[in-house]
Amino acid sequence: MRLDRYVSQAAGVSRAAVRTLLRRGAVSIDGRVVKAADLHVPAGSRVELEGRPLALPGPRYFMLHKPLDVVCSTSDGGHVTVLGLLEEPRRELLHPVGRLDRDTTGLVLLTDDGAWSHGITAPRRHRDKVYRATLAEPLAPEAVARFAAGLMLNGEDRPTLPARLEILAPTEARVTLHEGRYHQVKRMFAALGNRVIALHREAIGGVVLDPALAPGEYRALRADEVEALR
């Protein structure tokens, strides 16, 4: 990582402030004053600011119960964001792992560990995602076989991968996806002539939304949950 970014994150100051500190000779690496903002900080080196050791925050891992009308992006555009629900220092360093639609509720993971989130979202390392859907129309029993066979979504040229559909009640179902396409659950039900009226994500790669979390609440992931998704 570049030195200016390292100091900015570790000390919680802006990059402009870091440049001033560097010019003043306030930063040292392994005992030697350094002034070059673009210098690469070697792993394991001792970085000090005015003689005090600096350490990068994190990595941090959270699960959030996303409520309705909250967006999974880092900038607001007028809406409350998932980051805005976190009462954490330096929360701007965190990002949501993948996205849920504004009108979808449920499990969202947040982290500042880019390699970890990439391992979850990269298409070739897809983690199963489990959703609970409420439908406008009753489901026909053959919907299970249609999901298992793969469905052609509007505007696409290859069918979806086999997906698991469990019918829980006439208009209630659990869906397990092995891939992640844009608005996939809603579009799969649309391909059957039905419509999703509520959607909730229950789990990602075996990590289940904690039932103790009310909408809007979050908690740190346990070490076993972090490892299960690594």
Q: Which residues are catalytic?
A: 101
Out of 47, 108, 153, 199, name the contact with ligand URA by CB under 6 A: 199
Q: Which is nearer to ligand URA, 183 or 222 (CB)?
A: 183
Out of 8, 9, 104, 105, name the contact with ligand URA by CB under 6 A: 104
Q: Which is nearer to ligand URA, 15 or 195 (CB)?
A: 195
Min dist CB 181 to ligand URA, Å, is 8
Q: Which is nearer to ligand URA, 10 or 70 (CB)?
A: 70
Q: How many CB atoms lie within 10 A of CB 52?
A: 7
Which of 89, 97, 92, 94 lies closest to 116 in space, CA to CA? Answer: 97
Strands of the chain (E only): list them: 27-29, 32-33, 47-49, 52-53, 61-66, 70-71, 80-81, 95-96, 104-111, 129-135, 164-169, 172-177, 196-204, 207-208, 218-220
Min dist CB 109 to ligand URA, Å, is 14
* 65 touches ligand URA by CB under 6 A: no
Pairing between strand 172-177 and 95-96?
unpaired
DSSP of 9-43: HHHT--HHHHHHHHHTT-EEETTEE---TT-B--T
Out of 60, 65, 66, 186, name the contact with ligand URA by CB under 6 A: 186
Helices 15-23 and 3-11, axial angle in degrees (round to 10) = 110
Min dist CB 145 to ligand URA, Å, is 21
Q: Which is nearer to ligand URA, 69 or 92 (CB)?
A: 69
Of 15-23, 34-42, 85-93, 184-192, which part binds ligand URA (CB under 6 A)?
A: 184-192
- CA 221 vs. chain centroid, Å, equals 13
x/- map, 118-157, ligand URA, by CB under 6 A: ----------------------------------------
Q: Which is nearer to ligand URA, 36 or 68 (CB)?
A: 68
Both tokens assigned to 70: 């909250």
Q: Count H helices, E strands: the chain?
A: 6, 15
Residues binding ligand URA (CB under 6 A): 100-101, 104, 183-186, 199
